[in-house]
Structure 1
Amino acid sequence: MAEMRSLLAACLVFAAARAGASSDESAAQAAAASFDGSVAQGNVPDAPPASGVAAPATPPGQPLPKSDVELRNDVEHRGFLYFWQQADPVTGQVPDRAAADGSMPASPPVSSVAATGFGLSMLCAGAAHGWVTRDQARARAKETLSFLLNTAPQEHGFFYHFIDARTGARAYNSEVSTIDTALLLGGVLTARQCFADDPEIRALATAIYDRVDFPWMLKGTPPLLSMGWTPEKGFIPARWGGYSEHMILDLLAVGSPTHPIPASEWNDWARESVHYGTYTYISGDTPLFIHQYSQAYVDFRGLKDGHGIDYFQNSVTATLAQRQFFADMSKDVPTYSANVWGGTASDTQNGYKAWGGPPRSAADDGTVAPCAPGGSIMFTPEQSLDALSEMKKRWGGKIYGRYGFVDAFNPADGWADKDVIGIDQGITALSAENQRDGKIWGWFMQNPEIGRAMNEVGFKKETP
């Protein structure tokens, strides 16, 4: 738990700067067929399975009511528009944030490399749905990948968290970030498979991934990946020592064909149980994003690792627990309910904060972040879309605009954010796409490095 609190502290180092900055079915089947379900050797401790799911979620691919389908698709399309319209037209880099009304900045904004990764993924989804042509998406992907490989500053292959969207220069004195690089690589490798018929895209994407020197970030005893590095102070002391959004980072590192880390590192981080009411699941801290980001790309459905954990079901349970937690908090915050909920890292009236629950966070001030239920559409489509539908119905255009939901709002006092944030629009859009037909999962899981890593760390198919 201490490691995760260090994570939140590291995330918030740049919060003030951030706040001030004005898959198809056949692909999914092919990925499943290529995964052999073998088990890595070694003794690993068991963890209690996720439990207490009182209301089963609608599984991906199951029919949803027409109104839910329409909202899911609209949310995804509006999210796509953010990445298509706000990305730098020369470099393809995606702004960390933008005005919710769609107005364009007067000068090139600061880009989040994680948001650029989500943007690469949404190029693929946009082309698949006909929102842009495949040639348009291909051209944008090439521009983006070429800039990342040849211009954006990097250290041992890892990228800075924030960069100037036009020049690539480091912004906000930000860190070279392991998790933001990993989320960027998620989009890079998704594009590699989506445009597998394009040798230039494949070569660019492969070179970006192969350049990352993952062992350089291994620190401490046992060796765990550091959260980052700065030229002024060297490695950030906090390491990825507990359950969090870093699972995709671990798998990319283990599966690297050029600079892999030992598969045993997967077993060295803590998996602590959280109990809330009838719900039991593993977690690290309260924001819901820690259960979402890795699974925007990694399809854990039907798989367990050597610890006996089904990470997909764990995220279902964590989402339902937060929903119940907000409903229970309505005694103190009457504007919360089972359909008005959402705690994660988001804007608030008092700045950008990482918050959530259970348990209740000191940062909780009545704010609601729609990207919390939005990012869990792939886990709990019925409950998540019920929440988004209720919010849209009650507050309408005040919180729902050109790019979908604003980053956050406070129904208790009427405050509504004027911005959207790239990673929050991204996790909502990718989650919607995965629930729709699994396209992002399908493309990403076709990368052989990921299947190899999952085999090496001990994933196997669940038996009935």
Structure 2
Amino acid sequence: MKKIVNKWNLALVVWLLISSCASEIVQSDRITTKGYDRHVELQWEPVAGAKSYAVLVKKKDNSYTKRAEVKDTIYLDFVNDLGTELELSYKIEAQLIEGKESLGESAVATRSMTDEELLDMVQYYTFRYFWEGAEPNSGMARERIHMDGVYPQNDQNVVTTGGTGFGIFGLLAGIERNWVTKEEGLERFERMVGFLKKADRFHGVWPHWINGETGKVKPFGNDDDGGDLVESAFLIQGLLAVREYYKNGGERGKKLALQIDELWKTTEWSWYTQGGQDILYWHWSPNFAWQKNFGIKGYDECMITYVLAASSPTYGVPATVYHKGWARDGDIVNDTSAYGHDLPLKHNGSTEFGGPLFWSQYSYLGLNPKGLKDQYANYWEHNRNHTLINRQWCVNNEQGFKGYGEDLWGLTASYTVTGYAAHKPGNDLGVISPTAALSSIPYTPEESMAVIKNLYYNYGEKVFGRYGFYDALSPEKDWYPQRYLAIDQGPIVAMIENHRTGLGWELFMAAPEVQEGLEKLGFTIAEE
């Protein structure tokens, strides 16, 4: 009997201790907190008339110290200075014209994360660019999001055709990972497809940029105010994955799949051969016709354009267009190598070391390179070697840029200190673009994870924000812009998902027209 009493006494003591600790913090329903490994995310309700919000954290002596003062209603607090495995209590205070208003307190804990949890976090944050950051009328991906709110061209409502196509794979991943419900995901795709049906098209091809509020073309350049075949191919790659995802679903899903099918079948790929030439052309404009006269030749990011053009059941092109145009009548074949890695295809303007890494990413968010071969290359080996060459260039770091190494590598197109550039070996400006290594994770899983860990654990708030890793950084120049680009964020979440589950590859490759198109062009698919 004595043992039973002691057991109950111990339980009572534990309960009293828990109750005592809990009573110190009355959890506010106006504040949401989530703890990760090295940061805490806080969100709170907006307060009318607030000029800013003070974020405060409780110290060991139970007093509060200010962590930040922000105008937004979200804050990522990187707590490296406080330690690890923390139990924290935050308070949010709205700063009013006269006085302040407390939104209450919220307790949260940080924890060590496994590699899989780290990937979850990176994927989820990047997914939010396309979910929370989307242009509201169209549901499409904004071309860019600058966290400072400064848009030199006043283009915050301009959406990107290709970037939206990339982001679609992220949205599908978000549905599968329960970040949004299937109903919410379906509604977003319905809005997007409804917008695309009414938006400007030029022989079935969308422009590079579209005004998300009106659906009208936003010129990409002085003579580029019409159809952009490559950006439209990136979009259709994503749309076909959505079609496959919903085509055997409920009534609304089937209707959506049919609407996507109509968009696909009314895309006039053959028009973009300029009347039957053995090559596809990138642009056509009602005002400038074929003035740009940009023939699409390999090798670069555009391979998906030829695959879809050959696959079209209504406006398809013959195989000769691929072989004579894209493959340059066989001249696309390369016989060079770098750092011990063969590069079987000639990269435009970058024969020895290969071009920027997006060339091995954009066409392969849906098109599965595993086991994909034709008479010119094994595309898995090609893309992996391209990535390893790019990485080794950064590891060797002959220019001596600060930060470069096995845990900080990756050259691709992104923002740079003076604007925008296609970073690559031979055009290395000391700028690392996180999307380069992160979107290469199917090809280089261990090497890419090293970059993710370095960026998150060592650079922290300099490089990571509301929508994941920022677009670019240069430790050499102490340059860490808080900017995002859709075309760089999209491949991150898409390729991480392909690495983990193969979702995008499985959906796109399930399209029967794609299989027929690949066979038509002489591709074979072997198990890797």
TM (norm. structure 2) is 0.71
Measured against aligned partners, the alpha-carbon deviations of 1:409-430 in whole angstroms (never above 9, x if no partner) come to 1111211122111111001110
Residue 236 of structure 2 corresponds to residue 168 of structure 1:
no
Measured in 1, the distance between the counterparts of 2:311 and 2:231 equals 18
What letter is aligned with 2:235?
A: L
The one of 262, 269, 285 aligned to 1:214: 269
Residue 294 of structure 2 corresponds to residue 238 of structure 1:
yes
Residue 180 of structure 2 corresponds to residue 112 of structure 1:
no
314-323 or 109-118, which deviates more: 109-118
Partner of 2:511 in structure 1? Answer: 447
Indicate if the aligned counterparts of 1:99 and 1:420 stay in contact, CA closer than 8 A.
yes
440-449 or 269-278, which deviates more: 269-278
Measured in 1, the distance between the counterparts of 2:399 and 2:419 equals 25
* Map 1:35-434 → 2, pairs under 5 A: 67-100=114-147, 109-149=157-197, 151-174=198-221, 175=224, 176-196=227-247, 197=249, 198-219=253-274, 223-235=278-290, 236-268=292-324, 269-270=327-328, 271-273=332-334, 274-281=336-343, 282=345, 283-284=347-348, 285=350, 286-307=355-376, 309-330=377-398, 332-357=400-425, 360-361=426-427, 364-434=428-498
Q: CA deviation at 1:100?
A: 4.3
Q: 1:451 to 1:459 in 2, by over 3 A?
A: same
- Matched residue SS, 1:412: helix
Indicate if the aligned counterparts of 2:372 and 2:524 stay in contact, CA closer than 8 A.
yes
What letter is aligned with 2:206?
A: F
Indicate if the aligned counterparts of 2:130 and 2:140 stay in contact, CA closer than 8 A.
no
Q: CA deviation at 1:374?
A: 1.3
Measured against aligned partners, the alpha-carbon deviations of 1:292-339 in whole angstroms (never above 9, x if no partner) come to 1111110121231123x1112211110011100111125532431122
Indicate if the aligned counterparts of 2:410 and 2:433 stay in contact, CA closer than 8 A.
yes
Measured in 2, the distance between the counterparts of 1:306 and 1:173 equals 35
Measured against aligned partners, the alpha-carbon deviations of 1:71-119 in whole angstroms (never above 9, x if no partner) come to 2222211111110011122321210011348999998611111111123
Compare relative contact order (CA 8 Å, sep 6+) and give the higher one, 1 or 2.
1
Partner of 1:4 in structure 2? Answer: none
89-98 or 447-456, which deviates more: 89-98
Q: 1:120 to 1:463 in 2, by over 3 A?
A: closer
Instruction: Report the RMSD for the aligned CA atoms in angstroms.
Output: 2.3
Q: CA deviation at 1:356?
A: 1.0
Larger Rg: 2
Indicate if the aligned counterparts of 1:108 and 1:164 stay in contact, CA closer than 8 A.
no
Q: CA deviation at 1:237?
A: 1.8
Measured in 2, the distance between the counterparts of 1:125 and 1:316 equals 23
What letter is aligned with 1:369?
A: S
- Matched residue SS, 1:325: helix
What letter is aligned with 2:116?
A: V
Q: CA deviation at 1:385?
A: 1.5
Indicate if the aligned counterparts of 1:108 and 1:166 stay in contact, CA closer than 8 A.
no
Measured against aligned partners, the alpha-carbon deviations of 1:150-190 in whole angstroms (never above 9, x if no partner) come to x2101011101011111112113553211100000011111
What letter is aligned with 1:203?
A: L
What letter is aligned with 1:312?
A: W
What letter is aligned with 1:452?
A: E
What letter is aligned with 2:341?
A: Y
TM (norm. structure 1) is 0.80
What letter is aligned with 1:386?
A: A
Measured in 2, the distance between the counterparts of 1:456 and 1:189 equals 19
Higher helix share goes to which structure? Answer: 1
Indicate if the aligned counterparts of 1:330 and 1:337 stay in contact, CA closer than 8 A.
no
- Matched residue SS, 1:86: coil
Indicate if the aligned counterparts of 2:166 and 2:365 stay in contact, CA closer than 8 A.
no
- Matched residue SS, 2:477: coil
Q: CA deviation at 1:342?
A: 1.5
What letter is aligned with 2:407?
A: N
Q: 1:463 to 1:107 in 2, by over 3 A?
A: closer
What letter is aligned with 1:177?
A: D
What letter is aligned with 1:88?
A: E
- Matched residue SS, 1:353: strand
Q: CA deviation at 1:245?
A: 1.4
Q: CA deviation at 1:260?
A: 0.3
Indicate if the aligned counterparts of 1:112 and 1:422 stay in contact, CA closer than 8 A.
yes
What letter is aligned with 1:416?
A: Y
Q: 1:343 to 1:463 in 2, by over 3 A?
A: closer
Measured in 2, the distance between the counterparts of 1:233 and 1:107 equals 23
Measured in 2, the distance between the counterparts of 1:316 and 1:189 equals 25
Measured in 2, the distance between the counterparts of 1:89 and 1:415 equals 31
- Matched residue SS, 2:317: coil
Q: 1:395 to 1:224 in 2, by over 3 A?
A: same
Q: 1:240 to 1:349 in 2, by over 3 A?
A: same
